[in-house]
């Protein structure tokens, strides 16, 4: 890791555990032992995962020959250093003081662990299965209408630090330096696919096009689709909401009655697609290093996005109900009643520049996607009206 002026203070942001001042009296291995011999909640607070999950990851990395004990630092401490940095957004100086190692030693083990996780990261990303997701099949709002939906796709801007000469392409529409990250996720908050490293100025549709055409590409099962928002086009494999129709549920005035099939479709589309907001929220809650630009080489910053998403999936697989995941369970998002009214979509988010859509779809394919959306909306509305009449 490169050092920066932040090293002078050691801490960036407010993610340092409260007990750090006490732990400064310990050396690194004593601190790690103290955490791992304590309550599992303490391991979650410091290393962002429960103890059994932590130990299993150590075993995986050691068993694959990706990490090994050194004369001074055991694998558990190497992993702890990495997780402590990304889980609390710390700089080298703070970690030096805690673990009692030089900046070069901290940097070397940070990068070793990052590369080890990257080496097995693909194993933690699983494509969608053939079954209807239970979040759809077990909810009458969504089934059978979205039975062919496998998840949701969205983009997130992650702050980035680059040299002055490189800043132009990375400056997004808000004037901030970022990388535009695309993610496809399931409704149970697992990442199917992540593409990081695109400049912040790149449009979301351009990044999606890249994901669909590269060697390691986003795979959409035949006859299935992902939900996307209005930043993307309604096209084969992806269903977006209706343009010019209220969408976001946050501003429903009380007592509002849905007017037509398009409003009902958009409302339920939003409730289901909200999985992307929850998974990004859970990811940043666990790994706040993604919330500010870390002073590492660009390649390292890109790796960190993929590695944190892979770790998110690993933890979700091993301990799906840990405290951080419970904060983002779907019940909160799905409490909105359909008697509430939708939010008006900002005009700026409704424009799709099809010049960025370079995938060679035949002319009838986008039309087919529109017909599919219309048929879902029509069936949904007919059932909705019938249920109202029966009340």
Instruction: Tell me the whole-structure pTM to 2 decimals.
Output: 0.86
CA gap 67, 325 in Å, rounded: 28
Task: State the Cα–Cα distance between residues 104 and 102, nearest whole angstrom.
Answer: 5
CA distance linking residue 383 with residue 388, whole number of Å: 9
Average pLDDT over residues 73-93: 94
Nearest to 307 by CA among 105, 155, 92, 158: 158
The confidence band for 347, taking pLDDT boundaries of 50, 70 and 90, is very low
| Structure confidence at residue 7 (pLDDT) | 34
**Average of per-residue pLDDT values in the chain:** 86
Q: Which residues contact 190 (CB under 8 A, 6 or more apart)?
A: 126, 279, 312, 313, 316, 317
Chain Cα centroid distance, residue 149? 19
What average pLDDT score do residues 106-113 get? 96
- Find the range with the poorest average confidence among 195-204, 242-251, 343-352: 343-352
Q: How confident is the model at residue 356 (pLDDT cuts 50, 70, 90)?
A: low
Of residues 22 and 41, more confidently modeled: 41
Give the Cα separation of 101 and 122 in Å (integer): 32
What is the average pLDDT across 294-309? 97
Lowest mean pLDDT: which of 95-109, 246-260, 277-291?
A: 246-260
Return the pLDDT at 153: 98
Residue 337, pLDDT > 50, answer: no
CB atoms closer than 10 angstroms to residue 250: 10
Average pLDDT of span 373-385: 97
Contact 247, 227 (CB under 8 A): no
């Amino acid at each position: 890791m490169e050092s920066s002026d932040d090293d002078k203070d050691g801490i960036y942001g407010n993610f340092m555990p409260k007990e750090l001042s006490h732990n400064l009296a310990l050396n690194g291995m004593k601190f790690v032992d103290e955490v791992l011999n304590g309550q599992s909640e303490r391991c979650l607070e410091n290393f962002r995962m429960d103890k059994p999950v932590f130990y299993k990851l150590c075993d995986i990395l050691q068993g694959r020959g990706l990490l090994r004990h050194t004369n001074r630092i055991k694998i558990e401490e190497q992993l702890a250093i990495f997780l402590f940095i990304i889980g609390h957004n710390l700089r080298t100086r703070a970690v030096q003081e805690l673990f009692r190692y030089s900046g070069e030693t901290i940097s070397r083990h940070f990068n070793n662990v990052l590369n080890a996780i990257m080496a097995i990261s693909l194993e933690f990303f699983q494509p969608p299965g053939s079954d209807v997701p239970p979040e759809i099949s077990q909810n009458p709002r969504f089934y059978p209408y979205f039975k062919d939906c496998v998840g949701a796709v969205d983009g997130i801007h992650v702050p980035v630090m680059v040299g002055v000469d490189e800043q132009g392409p990375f400056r997004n529409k808000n004037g901030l330096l970022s990388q535009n990250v695309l993610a496809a996720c399931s409704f149970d908050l697992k990442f199917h696919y992540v593409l990081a490293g695109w400049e912040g100025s790149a449009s979301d549709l351009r990044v999606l096009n890249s994901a669909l055409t590269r060697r390691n590409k986003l795979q959409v099962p035949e006859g299935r689709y992902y939900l996307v928002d209005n930043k993307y086009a309604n096209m084969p494999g992806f269903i977006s909401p209706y343009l010019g129709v209220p969408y976001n549920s946050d501003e429903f005035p009380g007592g509002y009655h849905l007017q037509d099939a398009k409003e009902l479709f958009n409302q339920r589309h939003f409730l289901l697609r909200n999985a992307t907001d929850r998974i990004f929220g859970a990811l940043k809650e666990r790994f706040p290093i993604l919330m500010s630009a870390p002073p590492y080489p660009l390649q390292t910053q890109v790796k960190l996005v993929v590695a944190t998403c892979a770790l998110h999936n690993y933890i979700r697989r091993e301990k799906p109900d840990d405290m951080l995941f419970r904060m983002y369970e779907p019940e909160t998002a799905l409490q909105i009643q359909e008697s509430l009214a939708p939010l008006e979509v900002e005009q700026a988010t409704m424009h799709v520049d099809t010049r960025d859509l370079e995938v060679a779809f035949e002319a009838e394919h986008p039309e087919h996607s529109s017909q599919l959306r219309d048929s879902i909306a029509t069936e949904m509305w007919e059932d909705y009206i019938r249920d109202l009449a029966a009340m």
